[in-house]
Amino acid sequence: MNRKDFGEDFIWGVATAAYQIEGAWNEDGKGESIWDRFTHTKSLNPFKQRIYQNQNGDIACDHYHRYKEDLDLMKELSIPNYRFSLSWPRIFPDGTLSSKNQKGIDFYHRLIDACWERDITPNVTIYHWDLPQALEDKGGWTNRDTYLRFLDYTDFVTKEYKDKVPRWFVLNEPLAFTVLGYFLGIHAPGRKGFANFYPAVHHVTLAQGEGGKIAKRNCPDSEIGTTFSCSYIEPVSQDGFLGELHKNAAIRFDALLNCLYIEPMLGMGYPIDRLPSLKVLEKYFQEGDEERMKFDADFIGIQNYTREIVKWSPFMPAVWGTIIEAKKRCEKTTEMGWEIYPEGIYHLLKKYASYSGVKKIYVTENGAAFSDKLVEENGQIRIHDVERINYIKSYLEQVLRAKKEGVPVNGYFIWTFIDNFEWAEGYRPRFGIVYVDYETQKRYIKDSGYWYRDFLLGKEV
């Protein structure tokens, strides 16, 4: 497999997120985010911590102060595209236009300029989960006003940086942050239950559609899209009476995990036909919302790591099914406990390409966490992460397979560039192609980083 196999117009890059790497959580006028509050608040359950070892992103990778060093490493690895996110509370500390923080605005100008100085193209995500806490105090995404404040924020940043950013991503994985943060409560802001989940879903869907239109209006010469988390879903069995129940459960999970946010954007409405419980969303509609949800995106980003095997269950309302843990059915998983299933990304690319409104697809996140170890060899520190190299290669082979079959997939971003704060899992899982020693903040390029460099330089791998 060679880079040239993908074509000259195929873009390559790495991805990060503001809260996971920036640190400087309260410096230079930045406001508190929901992740600041969530990680600083101890769990009421003494037997279950909110975050692994009560860690937080206060310092993280100190990218706020070390971004030039990190971009130099990116340049050394010949990486041409950097996808990063803006921190909403760094720009508007309380989430509103009246709280504009010039130091935060200037930081992203410096970061974007530093990318261009190194011939690295900035790809900017507008929202990657760090909602200003001041808005959460008023209900967060359960409050329709938050979606309106998001439109103000989107309007401002796309005007502020429009001449410097050729590719914008409106949201990062809306399903993930609404399920984990507003239904299960295991991510910030820690809300639970359908009463939080359903209004959050609808308001985020509105933000996606209207935010995309605003970005396109302000940046007509840029590509505007958004990203979706997705997992290939299969039933545990399709044989007999139970097999039919398992198959229907898989259909419902697919509607939830893979269709909930893209279909309204494409003008298809919510996938109520496959997941009837979503009919509850209609109670949150206001006149004109069906149009507000729509957005004619230039591309979509898909973010895939694994597949899920589903079985029917009478104990899980709404989806009437449950996911079988990969550790219970696989000999080998990643550090996150996820199955390695490269064919899944092929099936998902084919699935999303089948939507008539999808023009172009980027794989905006793909990668794996493994237990990386530092090894000293001839006076140098090395990290031999062959499992990550094999993972990336196997997934890229499936991306190429889909492309050869006519899927309009035109880019691939590794998650992630440097090891980082991995949300509720803390610093334990390492996804990076660059190792971070969190005690010293020293960076070490892993073998996967060198492999990616060689691949990007056109060598056969």
Burial label for 12, CB within 10 Å (0-12, 13-18, 19+), is middle
| Residue environment code for 336-362, b if the CB has 16+ CB neighbours within 10 A, otherwise e | bebbbbbebbbbbbebbbebeebbbbb
Beta carbons within 8 Å of 422's beta carbon, 6+ residues apart: 20, 369, 428, 429, 431
**If you ran DSSP here, which 8-state letter would residue 256 be given?**
I
CA 159 → CA 108, 146, 219, distances in Å? 13, 20, 7
Predicted confidence at residue 461, as pLDDT, reads 81
- The answer to whether residue 46 scores a pLDDT higher than 90 is no
**Which domains, from first to last, does the chain contain?**
3-232+262-306+345-456 (3.20.20.80)
- The answer to whether residue 115 scores a pLDDT higher than 90 is yes
Comparison of pLDDT for 132 and 48, the residue scoring more: 132
d(CA 269, CA 293): 8
DSSP strand pairing (442-445 vs 299-303): unpaired
Q: Residues of the chain with pLDDT > 90: what percent?
A: 97
pTM: 0.97
- The answer to whether residue 460 scores a pLDDT higher than 90 is no
pLDDT tens-digit map of 383-432? 999 999 999 999 999 999 999 999 999 999 999 999 999 999 999 999 99
3-state class of 303 per DSSP? Answer: strand
Closest CA to 275 of 317, 310, 232, 314: 317
| Averaged pLDDT, 91-107 | 98
Q: Which residues are catalytic?
A: 173, 365
pLDDT tens-digit map of 303-321? 999 999 999 999 999 999 9
pLDDT tens-digit map of 135-190? 999 999 999 999 999 999 999 999 999 999 999 999 999 999 999 999 999 999 99
Q: Please, which pLDDT band fits residue 44 given cuts at 50, 70 and 90?
A: confident
Total Cβ atoms within 10 A of residue 134: 19
Q: Find the angle CA(440)-CA(442)-CA(445) to the nearest 5 degrees.
A: 150
d(CA 222, CA 163): 9
Q: Residues of the chain with pLDDT > 70: what percent?
A: 100
pLDDT tens-digit map of 202-257? 999 999 999 999 999 999 999 999 999 999 999 999 999 999 999 999 999 999 99
- The answer to whether residue 298 scores a pLDDT higher than 90 is yes
